[in-house]
Amino acid sequence: MEINLLLIEGQGNGQWEKVRTYFGKKGFAVYQTSSVKEAFRVLRNEPIHIVLSDFWLNGINSINFLKKIKKGARPQVEVIFLCERVPLPAAIEAMKAGAYDFHEFPLNHRLLMAVVEKAYEKQSLFVEKVELERKVRERFDFGNIVGRSKPMQHVIEIMGSVAPKNVNILLAGETGTGKEMIANAIHYNSPRFSKPFIKVNCAAFNEGVLESELFGHEKGSFTGAISKRLGRFELANGGTIFLDEIGDVTLSTQIKLLRVLQEKEFERVGGNETIKVDVRVIAATNQDLKKRIDDGKFREDLYYRLNVVRIELPPLRERREDIPLLVSYFINKLNAEKDYRIKGITKEAMQLLLTYRWPGNVRELENALESAMALAEKEVVEAGYLPAFLSLARPQNGDHYHIPIDLPLREIEREVIRHALERAGGNKSLASKLLGIGLRTLQRKAKEL
């Protein structure tokens, strides 16, 4: 790629023409001026990568000139000052203001070329970072959240209100309702969007490991701690931490979480150094935390620290009007990701999707569509390509199934257990009694299926 240089001459040093000639012969596009006003015009209108400027500009404070470039005209441009003599304090001030380097006349052109190439490499990384941030923010823009139903519009309205504010948020909803996606959208639409977004699934670690994951540990603090490790809170400093399945955190770890939320400080496992952090917390749960408080399994003070703003994510069965939109979204998404060529879905297949209860919510809908698209031999998803369990018809009283004779036994067993759990409100003891099997048998089968 051609590198565009802007040369800004100062007091007419004869070296500038040599600089222009040297870089021109090397294939650079060279713009040249001795006017600061003209320099700003060029920076606004031309794709300048590197500025080579005399430090002694006529009647202009070079430090202020540099700050105006970095804060307004073209922040990503790297500025290299060329000069005959410059006091050390002035050079230090310029470097603090964002200057890339200094070179004194007479110039070593090869050395200057190496510096320009490194400055361009640094700028390219900056541009890539900005472009990546733009794409991520675009991906998680609130307008990309699929849902025109009243429950989802209410969720989006709350998100828009709280995203810019530095408050903790509790996302509540069943598994598969999109809590992680909502957390992403809130972070990337907040003032912290350029800072880290760290995710932790609290249910994936036992107590000792989770404490180390969250707060880090010092070398030798326990068997296997062969080196110091930074915790997720430390890594998220300045940004956001997403604590998924917060209801599964043990009481002892809850105490330490409460301290971070209250005091914004903690110590690593096995350490004495107090570490200060500035982290926004977004927590998520599919459990009834109020009930866990009543059962003595969740701290009430931690609950209120997390629950500054609560966002309830509706299950898919309560926003069925969004299913056609979601189907269209997932077909387009999976076509792009998997190189499928699916153009749509039949009315019969859509009717199956609209009448199913979707206990696994949006995640289950996506999985069902991906399965159908993988099996589809035509350009549309037909009912026969959808997973067999969708063809289970439920009468209004919900007490019986009409089961197709060719449905696999595993699918029948999975749906019967799922239906019993729904009727029992998630109470496995009651569901096992409804099914006439032992609690352990139900737990084992539920895990297998």
Residues 193 and 280 placed together within one structural domain of the fold: yes
278 or 410, which is more confident?
278
CATH number at residue 14: 3.40.50.2300
- End of a domain among 118, 136, 154? 136
- End of a domain among 391, 411, 439? 391
Ordered DSSP codes for 379-391: SEE-GGGS-GGGG
Residues 60 and 92 placed together within one structural domain of the fold: yes
- Mean pLDDT in residue range 239-262: 95
Residue 343 has what pLDDT?
93
Residues 118 and 175 placed together within one structural domain of the fold: no
Q: pLDDT averaged over the chain?
A: 86
1 or 105, which is more confident?
105
pLDDT at 242 over 50: yes
Within-domain flag for 346: yes
pLDDT at 1 over 70: no
Rounded Cα distance, 367 and 387, in Å: 9
Q: Which of 47-51, 155-159, 224-228 has the highest mean pLDDT?
A: 155-159
68 or 291, which is more confident?
291
Q: Tally the domains of the chain.
A: 4
Residues 178 and 261 placed together within one structural domain of the fold: yes
Within-domain flag for 193: yes
Residues 307 and 430 placed together within one structural domain of the fold: no
Residue 147 has what pLDDT?
87
Residues 201 and 182 placed together within one structural domain of the fold: yes
pLDDT at 94 over 50: yes
Residue 70 has what pLDDT?
80
Within-domain flag for 449: yes
Under the banding of pLDDT at 50, 70 and 90, the label for residue 353 is very high
Within-domain flag for 120: yes
Residues 292 and 410 placed together within one structural domain of the fold: no
Residue 395 has what pLDDT?
45
Residues 38 and 21 placed together within one structural domain of the fold: yes
CATH number at residue 338: 1.10.8.60
Under the banding of pLDDT at 50, 70 and 90, the label for residue 401 is low
Residue 396 has what pLDDT?
42
Residues 341 and 414 placed together within one structural domain of the fold: no
Dihedral of CA atoms 181, 186, 337, 346 in degrees, nearest 10, equals 60
Residues 260 and 373 placed together within one structural domain of the fold: no
Over residues 272-299, the pLDDT tens digits come to 899 999 999 999 999 999 999 999 999 9
Ordered DSSP codes for 161-190: HHTTS---EEEE--TTS-HHHHHHHHHHTS
Within-domain flag for 141: no
Residue 105 has what pLDDT?
78
- Mean pLDDT in residue range 296-324: 95
- End of a domain among 136, 155, 189? 136
CATH number at residue 260: 3.40.50.300
Tally Cβ neighbours within 10 Å of residue 189. 18
Q: How far apart are the first and last CA of the chain?
A: 55
pLDDT at 104 over 60: yes
308 or 355, which is more confident?
308
For residue 56, the SS3 value is coil
pLDDT at 302 over 80: yes
Over residues 106-144, the pLDDT tens digits come to 788 888 888 888 888 887 777 776 666 666 666 667 777
pLDDT at 397 over 60: no
Taking the model in full, what pTM does it have? 0.65
CATH number at residue 438: 1.10.10.60
Residues 410 and 372 placed together within one structural domain of the fold: no
Distances (CA, A) of 182 to 43, 171, 261, 328: 39, 8, 21, 20
Residues 255 and 165 placed together within one structural domain of the fold: yes
Containing structural domain, residue 403:
397-449
- Mean pLDDT in residue range 236-265: 95
